[in-house]
Amino acid sequence: MALTVMNWPIKIGFIAGGAAVGFGLALIGYTAGMEITAAFASKFMLLLGLVPATFSVIALLLTIFGYKLTDEQAEFYAAENVKREAALKGAF
């Protein structure tokens, strides 16, 4: 059971990625065997650049507004890292 649960994130990622590709191509009007026109190529390049850029902007906004690290927290974490490093050196 533990080994199969470990693979779920990978499988879910493949499902989401495959679905995103299919939905994206359907969104811009792709059909199997179609002749590629300049308009379709333009839509495809827009899709290829716009989707990653959108997710990058979302990640940036989450980082800016969702992750607040104060000076006090930074000092605390630095001190904890020094303690852990000293404990590891003492163990060997």
Kindly state whether residues 57 and 20 are assigned to the same domain. no
Whether residue 70 is found in the same domain as residue 29 = no
**The predicted structure's pLDDT at residue 55:** 92
Domain range for residue 77?
35-92
Both 28 and 66 in one domain: the answer is no
How many separate domains does the chain show?
2
Q: Give the ranges where 1-92 is alpha helix by DSSP (H).
A: 2-6, 8-27, 38-66, 71-91
- Give pLDDT tens digits for 10-36: 899 999 989 988 999 998 888 888 898
- Calpha distance 92→89 (Å, rounded): 6
Q: Are residues 56 and 78 in the same domain?
A: yes
- pTM of structure: 0.55
